[in-house]
Amino acid sequence: MTNVGFAMPWLLLAALSALIPWLASGQPPLRYSSLTVAPTDRVSTLIDRAVRLSASLGLIALVVAVAGPYRREQTVERLGFGAEIVLLIDRSSSMNESFVGRYLGGAARETKGAVAREILTDFVTRRKDDLFAVVAFSAAPIYVLPLTQDRGAVSAAVRSSTERGHGITNIGSGLAMALDFFEGRRKGGARIILLVSDGAARIEEETRERLHQAFSDTDARLYWIYLRNRTGVHLDAPPENPGESTTPEYFLHQFFQTLGSPYRAYEAENADALRLAVADIEALENDPLPYLEKIPRQDLSTYGYVAALVFLLPLLASRALEVDRWRF
Amino acid sequence: MIAEFHYPIRWRSFRVHPGHHRSSQTGGSDEFYGHAPLMAYPEPRHIDVHATLHDPFGQFMVRVFRQRSSVPVQVVADVSASMGFGERSGKLARIADFCAAAAYSAFRTGDPFGFLACDTALRSDLCLPLRWYKGLPEDFRNSLSTLEPDGNSSVEGLCAAAAQLGRQRSLVFLVSDFHLGADETNRVLDAFVHHDVVPIVVWSDTEYQKLPAFGWINLADPETGRQRRLFMRPSLRERFMENFRNRRDELNRICGRHGRRPFFLDDPFDADALTRYFLTE
């Protein structure tokens, strides 16, 4: 019972009103000549007590319901199967552009962000047993959702993370935060960081070193869904005029390949790349993995109202059967 | 038209006042009583030749007759709170009807009429002294039928009324619902032992026959203030009737021991039934 609380506990004082049915019967008395000639009736007394009891319980239930009972936030240990996947979503303003490079605004459907949303939502709904975490990043990483199996929460997080973006792309700190999710966790299934980005970012030398270390520590895999502009570079083909400032994606790709951990990049202009990614992830072997999930507090007042209704119905029926005047 | 009933009685009145009923007083009538010397009853018209010749002292003897006398007719009405039951033709209205009939009948028979009301004590504001009335005064009848009774118990008041009736034997109509215990009923009737008591029992149909067949009723006893909530159903209504039947038998038994069976006042008041009651007693 300790995990049940009340929004307005002081209202529980009103439960004293449950005494009212025992103080007086609500029926107005009918003047009779004398009770010495009226029979006593056990059945009537029993029914009367039952109705009073029911009224008392109904009042208590009503008061409890009005006081707003809820189940406290709880942490439940769940057993997860499948991979642990961190969705690392680019929220930079370039994600609001279409694939031909025109800025369309956050609400447009053809932006890279919208495409990423579709791809990721599909992905999340296909992978039933995986644990997902969500991190968004632009200039700084945003902690969105810890590792969980709650599909609704993940989908909502994906939707929110792919709304109107802003700022520049700082991929290094985002990767660092994504890797933080695996720090200190027992290794269960495969660890995957699913980077959804349109590139256009470079990583400093210092950060590269840290990422190198973190990837080897956590044994995470990196999958990059590269939302390529039509005019953008291909990752595998060396560009004609390579340079850190003109074709950062190529160099990023090069860096990722040197990480030592399994890495794959998909150039996503359509859903085929996604299918490839899903197939790859499915091929990985996974162990059962216990993890803790937080359940938010739940409103319990409905039960109180239903109980009150059930208990007050006999009272209504009894009220309907009252005779309030003599027929002379 | 005011109903009228006849009330022949079986005992002799001691009253001197001439009237309709048999009396123990001697006087002018046709009921032979005995012989007396002419010197004692100087009435030469009644000289009995046969008795004079038989008299060993040779005195003139006269025939002596009984006189017919009046009888005081008194109504003692219980107006305690239990009599407030009923609305349109409540018990008090029926008592008022009955009193009107009794007063008129007393007037027609030539008897004085008196009325005493009592709840916990005698209600002197509602009493009529023993006089000759030409029926019940109309305003008195109205005030009686619209009375809001609130007395707690009628036993003390009824006993006080018995003391108020006077020494001469009267015909007393004791009007009440008799919702009393057997002991209390005995006590009340004992208080009236000096008089010829006709218990008039006022019950309402609604009290037991016309109770609702189904549903909750919350009965309040106006005298004790207690309440009893009953879930009415046909079997319980039958138990009400059973209670009243038993009470009727008990009243017949107790009152019969005290001289007369009770008369159950119907609604509306049937004067001929009361006449029949007097003729068959």
List pLDDT tens digits, range B208-232: 888 888 889 988 888 888 889 899 9
Domain count, chain B: 2
The minimal CB distance from B215 to the residues A29, A31, A322 is found for: A322
Are B37 and B155 contained in the same domain? no
Task: Give the pLDDT confidence score for residue A204 in this predicted structure.
Answer: 77
B104 and B184 share one domain: yes
Q: Which of A36, A322, A323 sits opposite B179 (nearest CB)?
A: A36
Q: What is the DSSP letter of B100?
A: H
| In a domain? residue B1 | no
Going from N- to C-terminal start, the domains of chain A cover: 4-72+297-320, 76-292
Closest residue in A to B239 (Cα) is: A39
B7 located within any domain = no
Q: At what angle do helices B155-164 and B182-191 cross, to 10 degrees?
A: 10
Contact B216 A38 (CB under 8 A): no
Rounded distance between C-alpha atoms, residue A316 and residue A305, angstroms:
16
ipTM over 0.85: no
Residue B231, chain A, CB below 8 Å: the answer is yes
B88 with B184, same domain?
A: yes
How many other C-beta atoms can be found within 10 angstroms of the C-beta atom of residue B104?
21
Q: What per-residue confidence (pLDDT) applies to A222?
A: 85
Write the CATH number for B234: 3.40.50
Residue among B91, B229, B242 minimizing CB distance to A48: B229
Q: Is the Cβ pair B219, A38 closer than 8 Å?
A: yes
Angstrom distance (rounded) from CA A160 to CA A170: 19
Cα A198 to Cα A90, A324, B219, B258: the distances in Å are: 8, 80, 86, 118
> Could you give phi then psi for residue A145, rounded to 5 degrees?
-150, 130
Same domain, B234 and B257: yes
* B257 and B142 both lie in a single domain: yes
Token reading at B98: 């009955």
Q: In angstroms, what separates the C-alpha of A39 from chain B's closest C-alpha?
A: 6
- Nearest Cβ partner of B217 from A36, A47, A323? A323
When pLDDT is averaged across residues B167-176 and rounded to a whole number, the result is: 93
Q: Which residues of A touch B218 (CB under 8 A)?
A: 25, 27-30, 322
Residue B8 lies in a domain: no
Asked if the Cβ–Cβ distance from A35 to B232 is below 8 Å, we say no
Distance from CA of A33 to the nearest CA of B (A): 4
Among chain A residues, the shortest Cα distance to B231 is held by: A44
The verdict on pTM exceeding 0.90 is: no
> Is A39 in contact with B83 (Cβ distance < 8 A)?
no
| Whether B152 and B39 share a structural domain | no
User: Is B220 at the interface with chain A, CB within 8 A?
Assistant: yes
Q: Do B221 and A328 touch (CB under 8 A)?
A: no
Please give the Cα distance from A52 to A22 (Å, whole number).
Answer: 7
Q: Are residues B25 and B127 in the same domain?
A: no
**CATH architecture classification, A76-292:** 3-Layer(aba) Sandwich (3.40)
pLDDT of res. B252: 94
* B96 and B130 in a common domain: yes
Task: Tell whether B57 and B81 lie within a shared domain.
Answer: no
Residue of higher predicted confidence among A198 and B254? B254
Q: Which residues pair with B61 in a beta bridge?
A: B37
Q: For chain B, what is the mean pLDDT?
A: 90
- Within 146-185 of B, beta carbons closer than 8 Å to A belong to 177, 179-181
Q: Residue A328 has what pLDDT?
A: 62
Tell me: the pLDDT tens digits for B107-158? 999 999 999 999 888 988 889 999 999 888 889 988 888 888 888 888 899 9
Q: Specify whether B269 is located in the same domain as B150.
A: yes
Question: Residue A110 — φ and ψ, nearest 5°?
Answer: -95, 5
What residues of chain B lie within 8 A of the CB of A31, using their CB?
84-85, 220, 222
CA distance A79 to chain B (A): 59
Interface check for A30 against chain B (CB to CB < 8 A): the answer is yes
Does the residue B4 lie in any domain? no
Q: How buried is residue A302: exposed, middle or buried, by Cβ count under 10 Å (0-12/13-18/19+)? A: exposed
Q: Hey, how many other C-beta atoms are within 10 angstroms of the C-beta on B235?
A: 9
Kindly state whether B83 is in contact with chain A, defined as any CB-CB distance less than 8 angstroms: yes
Q: Does A328 touch chain B (CB under 8 A)?
A: yes
- Best of A22, A30, A34, A52 to mutate (most B CBs within 10 Å, chain B): A34
When CB atoms are compared, the residue of A28, A36, A40 closest to B218 is A28
What residues in A contact B202, CB-CB < 8 Å?
A: none
Rounded-to-integer distance, Cα B137 and Cα B103, Å:
9
Give the ranges where chain A is alpha helix by DSSP (H): 20-23, 42-66, 112-126, 151-161, 171-180, 205-218, 248-257, 271-283, 301-320
Whether residue B32 is predicted with pLDDT greater than 70 in this model: the reply is yes
B90, B145: one domain: yes
At A272 the pLDDT is 66
The per-residue pLDDT for A32 is 87
pLDDT at res. B146 = 85
Give the end of a domain, one of B54, B69, B84: B69
pLDDT in tens, chain A (328 residues): 578 888 888 999 988 988 988 888 778 888 888 888 888 899 999 999 999 999 999 999 999 999 989 988 888 877 766 778 888 888 877 777 766 655 555 455 567 777 777 778 877 887 777 788 888 888 788 888 888 878 888 888 888 876 666 777 778 888 888 888 887 776 667 788 888 887 667 777 788 888 888 888 888 888 888 877 766 667 767 766 666 666 777 778 878 888 777 887 877 665 566 667 767 776 765 666 677 777 888 888 999 999 999 999 999 999 999 888 887 6
CB within 8 Å: A38 and B240: yes
| Helix, strand or coil, per DSSP, at residue B11 | coil
- Residue B237, in any domain of the structure: yes
For residue B159, what are the domain limits? 73-280
More reliable by pLDDT, B19 or A121: B19
Q: Do B244 and B117 have their domain in common?
A: yes
In degrees rounded to 5, what are phi and psi of residue A20? -55, -45
User: Has residue B232 been placed in a domain?
Assistant: yes
Chain A residue with Cα closest to B206? A328
Give the type of residue at A247. T
A249 contacts A120 by C-beta, under 8 angstroms: no
Cβ contact, residue pair B86, A328, below 8 Å: yes
β-pairing, A4-6 vs A69-71, is antiparallel
**B224 neighbourhood in chain A, CB within 8 Å:** 35
Given CB atoms, is A10 within the 8 Å cutoff of chain B? no
